[in-house]
A and B are shown apart, each in its own frame.
Chain A
Amino acid sequence: MWEHRAIYVAISPFYILFAVFGLFPIGFSLYLAFHKWDGIGIMTYNGFNNFKYMLTDAEFWQAVGNTFMIWIYSTIPMLFFALIIAFLLHAPFVKFRTLFRVGYFLPNVTSIVAVAIIFGALFANNYGFLNYLLQSVGLPVVEWMNAPWGIKVAISSMVVWRWTGYNAVIYLAGLQSIPQTLYEAAKIDGASAIQSFFRITIPMLRPVILFTVITSTIGGMQLFTEPQVLVGNDGGAGAAGMTIVLYLYRESFINNYFGYGAAVGWGMFLIIALFSIVNWKLVQGKSS
């Protein structure tokens, strides 16, 4: 080993950085989850109390439910639109493809804070753009930011807007890896465009779809900035926009329960792990 030290030195920055910014915080948060700490004073051992409190905490379960609902509201339309966009971008008749790809990817590099402010103006109860449109065609206004589903729709639409292009680009890469000969063979056998879409495109895209579902799940479970900027630290009216990470943030950094916040973090880790396994099973099973 010693004679290869130059190589180990060369690869060491990653491990050092990972140990400092990855491993240590993970270990520390586990330690913290069993303690009571206001962030400044002394830590006191608290056993499993943080976890017990979490499991009996209605607000935590509401946050889990909200996160799950927002994830459904956003992921299904998002992946559906992404697939259609990717299919169109892949079609031979489309010109200026690079321009479109960049265009669809643009929302992903826009600051979420800016996005949330714009969507806040769109969905505002009074003087919001959507309500202005509804009123101008004679429909009654919707109190988007007061209704539990309205807040969730507003947050979900931000997620859809931001991530559709990203997923479309991934689907496009998947589409381009499907051999053209398969489509030609299907054509010769007399298959219609729809048949070849469902019989060739979708099955061949299976691993890519699995990838996007898993990343969307992890991203969806970690949703934070969108609701925080849109509805504030308390999750808006009736805490309808309170997601798990927002709850974790509020309990730790606003209410100073750092130990409890760490426990919530570990709870979220378990939920994400469970969810990813379920997703994996579902997507695998459906297409095989």
Chain B
Amino acid sequence: MVCVLLISGCSIWPGQDDSANNKKVTLTLWYWNRSIDDKLIARAKEKFPNIELTAQKIGGDFKAKLKTTLAARSGEPDIVALNDWIMELFPSEDRFYNLYDLGAGDIEDQYLPWKWKQGVTPNGQMIGFPMDTGPTALFYREDLFKEAGLPSDPEDVTRQMNSWDAYAAAGEKIKEKFGGKVFLTDNIATVYNQVLSQSAERYFRPDGSFIGMDSPTVRKSWDTAVAFKEKGLLANADGWTPGWNAAMNNGEVASFVGAVWMKQVLQEAAPDTSGKWRVARAPGGDGNNGGSFLSILKSSEHPQEAFELVRWLQSPENQLEQYQTLNLFPSAPGVFDDPAMKEKEPFFGGQATGPVFAESAQQVPDAFFGERYPSVHNIITRRLNDIAKQNANPQQVWTDTVHRVERELQR
């Protein structure tokens, strides 16, 4: 008996030489492909000899698997990667450790403030540690812009197409020049999303109350998107479809506002256009689209060890490394000046696009989303598609959408 107490007492006593008792802490990490570099995980195992790290790459519908596991209350990992749907989990904040309690506050100043706040619930609990971000910029075809008599140098584009109106005017020139064979941008949802992402206001206030569909932000985003459709500037190519890839590769779309991770998507979709694309700052301002977080679940028995691991995995240096290996854009602005962020890219005609996105990342407005953001946002973008693709009457669709959102909020 005494023997057992001595052994167990020894192993739980902190501050002892860990190698002496050789007791390892087991931690499970869930992530999806390309969210963390596998080489970095291998290095973490060397860096933390006291941690037995089981890193599991979860395929398929990651969110559904996580939610099922949370609902079942068994088999939960210690650390889990979350995407930009993190706000859907805010009502269940008690299922996560407050990272502030584990010492996150000490390193808060190393990360972009708006990104950091996205991981903090309205009650002030920090449940998500910043991973990569998705600052947005204007991707455009230098050759097509030049042919249409538009500015084609990234700095000129940034200066002259600084508003959505100026951008739309450029679109009309392109339409005229190419006889309607080339469109300014891909689809109506892109326009709406990007105008919205440039604003500090979304649909909800931090206290959970609904701002209303008549808020200036929503109206401006909606009206801009509808105007783009009415001026015939949209190719109606939906993202993540073969049609989008084809439209990009065939030069049917001259530009779009997208997040930094679209660089990868574009390069894979449109290999034939290599060297013709450039990146400038987005018209109307900077925004963010996407990005991920790491959380520690309340069921974990070793939150402090898990936090040390998270902190190391997402340290500015390691984020920089993952920018080089996986194109994950850092959320730590301290590394933005590193030469690795300024490398010239052949796909973008030798332009170094890193600094454009770095500038954008530092200007993203603080925004509160709220857990019902996804469902309200989805209703609106869905209805906008009716206007773009089925020529539905915009006024009629607006009235229906307001009604639909009100109904949604009642349940």
Contact = CB atoms under 8 A, between A and B. Distances in A.
Same complex for A and B? Answer yes
Interface of A: 36, 38-41, 49, 53, 57, 120-121, 124-127, 143, 146-148, 234, 237-239, 253-257, 260
12 contacts: A39-B68, A40-B71, A40-B95, A146-B389, A147-B390, A148-B390, A234-B378, A237-B385, A238-B390, A239-B382, A254-B378, A255-B378
| 10 pairs of A and B residues whose beta carbons are closest in the complex | A146-B389, A237-B389, A40-B92, A40-B70, A127-B246, A255-B375, A39-B67, A238-B386, A126-B243, A238-B390
A98 to B, nearest CB: 37
A246 to B, nearest CB: 13
Contacts of A49: 411
Contact of B236 (A120, A146, A148, A254): A146
A143 B247 CA distance: 15
Contacts of B378: 234, 254-255
A126 B375 contact: no
B242 interface: yes
Contacts of B252: 126
B108 interface: no
Nearest to A128: B243
A41 B378 CA distance: 23
Contacts of B236: 125, 146
Contacts, number: 65
Contacts of A121: 242
Contacts of B389: 143, 146, 237-238
B201 interface: no
B411 A256 contact: no
Given A239-B382, A253-B64, A38 B91 contact: yes
Contacts of A127: 242-243, 246
Contacts of A124: 241-243
Given A234-B382, A238-B389, 18 more contacts: A36-B411, A38-B92, A39-B71, A40-B67, A40-B70, A57-B407, A121-B242, A124-B242, A126-B237, A126-B252, A127-B243, A127-B246, A143-B389, A146-B236, A234-B378, A237-B386, A237-B390, A254-B374
A269 B166 CA distance: 54
A278 B115 CA distance: 57
Interface residues of B, number: 30
Interface of B: 61, 64, 67-68, 70-71, 88-89, 91-92, 95, 236-237, 241-243, 246-247, 252, 374-375, 378, 382, 385-386, 389-390, 392, 407, 411
Nearest to A58: B404
A254 B378 CA distance: 10
Given A126-B237, A127-B243, A127-B246, A146 B390 contact: yes
A65 B242 CA distance: 29
A160 B387 CA distance: 31
Given A39-B71, A237-B385, A238-B389, A120 B95 contact: no
Contacts of A234: 378, 382
B407 to A, nearest CB: 8
Contacts of B407: 57
Contacts of B385: 237-238
B411 A53 contact: yes
Contacts of B390: 146-148, 237-238
Given A121-B242, A238-B390, A255-B375, A126 B95 contact: no
Contacts of B92: 38, 40-41
A42 B81 CA distance: 23
A6 B247 CA distance: 67
A254 B89 CA distance: 13
Contact of B243 (A57, A125, A147, A148): A125
Nearest to B392: A238
Contacts of B375: 255
A268 to B, nearest CB: 19
Contacts of B91: 38, 40-41
B266 to A, nearest CB: 18
Q: Point out which of B89, B243, B252, B378 has the most chain A C-beta atoms below 10 A from its C-beta.
A: B243
